[in-house]
Amino acid sequence: MFHEAVAQQLGLHATDVKALRLLGEDAMTAGRLADNIGLTGAAVTALVDRLEADGYVQRVRDTEDRRRVTIHAVPAKIRKLDQLYDGIYIEMSRLLSKYSKAEFAAITDYLTNGITILAEQTKKLRDAAAGDARDLRSREKAS
């Protein structure tokens, strides 16, 4: 809900904010961004089009390989976005400061392994859905 509120504050979609947070100061291709967010290439193209029109990102063509384009976030826009997270950073830091090193290590372990499990399970669901879609198309062609 917090990310939705940040997106509303900026007049963006929550997925747009997610993409900007992933980009940060790094640049990446649309394909890598799609993989990291879990969207199709077409959906990422629409997302980048929106963010570019709003001045949040720029497409930069590689000077050596003109076919390669990377997406770069506009630093001033990222700073504005980051400012909306200042309050949560402060409060989360206060919360985490309550824990001992051993407790913090356990929390870190849990979160790290939890993220791995979530990523694996997400991939399984997506792979299953892609297989179901292929099966459906095959059945429709056979009909």
pTM exceeds 0.85:
no
Domain total of the chain: 2
Could you tell me if 88 and 127 lie in one domain?
Answer: no
**Number of helices and strands in the chain (H, E):** 7, 3
Range of the domain at 135: 100-143
pLDDT higher than threshold 80 for residue 101: yes
Identify which of 84, 62, 82 has the alpha carbon closest to the alpha carbon of residue 71. Answer: 62
Looking at residue 86, which CATH number applies to its domain?
1.10.10.10
What is the predicted pLDDT for the residue at 114? 97
Return the percentage of the chain with pLDDT > 70, whole number: 97
Q: Do 109 and 132 have their domain in common?
A: yes
Which of the four pLDDT bands, split at 50, 70 and 90, describes residue 138? confident
Instruction: Reply yes or no on whether the pLDDT at 66 is more than 90.
Output: no
Residue-wise pLDDT tens digits, 83-97: 999 999 999 999 999
